[in-house]
Structure 1
Amino acid sequence: MTLSTVDEDGIPDARILIVKKITDNHWYFATSAESKKGMQLKKAISLDFLERSDDARAVAILAKQSKVLPQLKEVELALEKAKEQIQLQPELISPDWRLYAVLANEVEFWQADPKRKHTRVKYYCKRNQWEHCLLWP
């Protein structure tokens, strides 16, 4: 999914995210509260964190997303320490982790075509039921 937010100056900021789960018309994604998008969103749900694999949790506990990495070997050393932490504290949740839900009433999926004859499908919620239609390229 594409998430667009605005920074402190009101300048739009968009990025592609992984949709974690869809329930009814809520689309969930997760991120670090210390990331750019996390600071722009400022809401938290952390139950999602414990459902992640130990590897994914370890990476999140590092809290270094998008920061400069001086040497690649530092990642492995830091991940080993974070995994040890998780083994000692299985309920450990990164204080920076957040799960967000987007309430969607309309969603469009499209598949690109080199000749620009894109396949586009629009889903929309009408009377609490999801319906869909094709759109012209």
Structure 2
Amino acid sequence: MANAPLTSDDFTESAEPFDLFASWLKDAEASEPNDPNAMALATVDPDGLPDVRMVLLKGFDHEGFVFYTNLESQKGREIGVSMKAALCFHWKSLRRQVRVRGPVERVSDAEADAYYASRPRGSRIGAWASKQSRPLESRFALEKAVAEYTAKYPLGAIPRPAHWSGFRIVPKTIEFWHDRPFRLHDRIVFTRSEGGGWGKTRLYP
């Protein structure tokens, strides 16, 4: 029943995870008070210690889930070493969660350029001014850097910094969780096969 309509409450018949994710994200956009595209991004540092932070999903399709960052940030450096990551979406208003795990790839320069150009001008300046994740001696130092780059690019296009781009998490597994009474939740995990198709398994809650 891959072509069956995806309702708000019944996802067990879906055979394709990205269409299901699109349906859930649409529901979240209508119900969540802030940032329905927020997701926890988990990485591992060179010593093997896990690390997690919230970022914003900026695009997804059947290839994977995309976000953008300073490549020299802590998360950028950690992904650069392992090229693996995990995501978790939690929509409290819907009592739903989606978990994603898989390898990571860089988006193309064309993709990064297009998204960077769509950002507010202040955000583009900020990408130049912020040495993300590194020690900052004072708030004034950051404001000074913003002023310097604002003066450098007063009008017209602002080029994308070479150290700023995007990552695509290419999922090997996508797990959907839906709250049910008495903690007897629904959990369905989709696993990508070597041929690119998806298998589906129900898990104990």
TM category (shorter chain) comes to 0.5 to 0.7
- Residue of structure 2 equivalent to 1:64: 131
Report if aligned partners of 2:43, 2:79 keep a CA contact under 8 Å in 1: yes
- Residue of structure 1 equivalent to 2:154: 87
**Residues matched between the structures, number:** 136
* Aligned-partner Cα distance in 2 for 1:118–1:55: 47
The change in CA–CA distance for 1:87 and 1:109 in structure 2 (over 3 A counts) is farther
Task: Quote the offset at 1:25 in angstroms.
Answer: 4.6
Deviates further, 87-96 or 14-23: 87-96
Cα-to-partner distance string for 1:22-45 (whole Å, 9 max, x where unaligned): 223511011111111111223464
Instruction: Find the residue that maps to 2:153 and give its secondary structure.
Output: helix
- Residue of structure 1 equivalent to 2:58: 20
Q: Which runs of 5+ in 1 are unaligned?
A: none
Report if aligned partners of 2:173, 2:192 keep a CA contact under 8 Å in 1: no
Q: What letter corresponds to residue 61 of structure 1 in structure 2?
A: W
* Aligned-partner Cα distance in 1 for 2:158–2:44: 33
Q: Which runs of 5+ in 2 are unaligned?
A: 1-38, 81-105
State the TM-score, normalized to the length of structure 1: 0.68
The change in CA–CA distance for 1:57 and 1:109 in structure 2 (over 3 A counts) is farther
CA RMSD in angstroms comes to 3.7
User: In the alignment, does 2:97 pair up with 1:97?
Assistant: no
Identity rate of aligned residues, in percent?
A: 26
Task: Quote the offset at 1:129 in angstroms.
Answer: 9.3
Report if aligned partners of 2:107, 2:168 keep a CA contact under 8 Å in 1: no
User: In the alignment, does 2:141 pair up with 1:74?
Assistant: yes
- Residue of structure 2 equivalent to 1:39: 77
Report if aligned partners of 1:28, 1:100 keep a CA contact under 8 Å in 2: yes
Task: Quote the offset at 1:99 in angstroms.
Answer: 0.4
Instruction: Find the residue that maps to 1:87 and give its secondary structure.
Output: coil
State the TM-score, normalized to the length of structure 2: 0.49
- Residue of structure 1 equivalent to 2:43: 5
Task: Quote the offset at 1:108 in angstroms.
Answer: 4.5
User: In the alignment, does 2:116 pair up with 1:49?
Assistant: yes
* Aligned-partner Cα distance in 2 for 1:70–1:64: 12
Deviates further, 29-38 or 117-126: 117-126
* Aligned-partner Cα distance in 2 for 1:120–1:78: 49
The change in CA–CA distance for 1:91 and 1:57 in structure 2 (over 3 A counts) is closer
